[in-house]
Amino acid sequence: MPKPGAPLSRERVLRAAVAIADAGGIGGLTMRSLADALGVKPMSLYHHVANKDEILDGIVDVVFSRMELPTPGGDWRHEMVKRANSARAVLRRHPWAIGLLESRTAPGPATLRHHDATIGTLRRAGFPLALTAHVHALLDSYVYGFAVQEAALPFSGPDSVTEVTEDILEHLSPDDYPHLVEIATGHVLRPGYDFADEFEFGLGVVLDAVAGLLADVSPGS
């Protein structure tokens, strides 16, 4: 879809890169496919980004920019739920971003802003400094790890679960993996099952525990 009218820019390049990765995975994102999508030749891209690595750093930051920020000063639990749900939804739309997180150590401004807002919200709610760091690491671990698992699922929504799970079960011997088979037949194949529901559950458990930690430290709130 070449758009000859608009001039190229770093923003346009990154936006197009995100769109390509969404459509065909990170593997589909090449300097040539990106140039094609922008109606341009590959080498033109290098006037707006230094190299492909910078594009990868850039699109990770674009992904962070699409997550809703928590608001320091609001009810901390509500803000953390809002942030976690938004982050998970965004990572689900851009699953390739999770793999990039691991290899990128140069966070962009949106990434920094995101973490700053999260930490700020906890601090404002009365979490002591060290506990804030602990809780931040804990919540981020949960969100990222859930996204990893969700991306690795062979099915992508509640619709295809039954079909895919039955296919997998045919290749899983109950002798070799009795408990996996039990979970698949007795839990996953139940009507109404949706892995996404696990997110709310786990998040609630974690936040309850965190609330307990806060209460121990500042009994007055």
Give, rounded to a whole angstrom, the gap between the first and last alpha carbons of the chain: 56
Sole binder of DNA in the list 14, 16, 21, 29 (CB under 7 A): 29
Is residue 11 part of the contact set for DNA (CB under 7 A)?
A: no
Kindly indicate which of the ranges 49-57, 126-134, 135-143, 186-194 contains the residues binding DNA, using the contact rule CB under 7 A.
49-57
Is residue 123 part of the contact set for a copy of itself (CB under 8 A)?
A: yes
Is residue 30 part of the contact set for DNA (CB under 7 A)?
A: yes
Sole binder of DNA in the list 1, 43, 130, 152 (CB under 7 A): 43
Residue 125 Cβ vs a copy of itself, minimum distance, rounded to whole Å:
12
Residue 119 Cβ vs a copy of itself, minimum distance, rounded to whole Å:
4
**8 Å CB contact between 141 and 90:** no
Residue 9 Cβ vs DNA, minimum distance, rounded to whole Å:
8
Of 110, 112, 66, the C-alpha closest to 91 is: 66
* CB-nearer residue toward DNA: 50 or 130: 50
Of 108, 101, 7, the C-alpha closest to 48 is: 7
Sole binder of DNA in the list 11, 23, 32, 103 (CB under 7 A): 32
Residue 11 Cβ vs a copy of itself, minimum distance, rounded to whole Å:
20
Binding site for a copy of itself (CB under 8 A): 25-26, 95-96, 98-105, 112-113, 115-117, 119-120, 123, 129-130, 132-134, 137-138, 140-149, 151-154, 172, 176-180, 182-183, 186-188, 195, 198, 201-202, 205-206, 208-210, 213
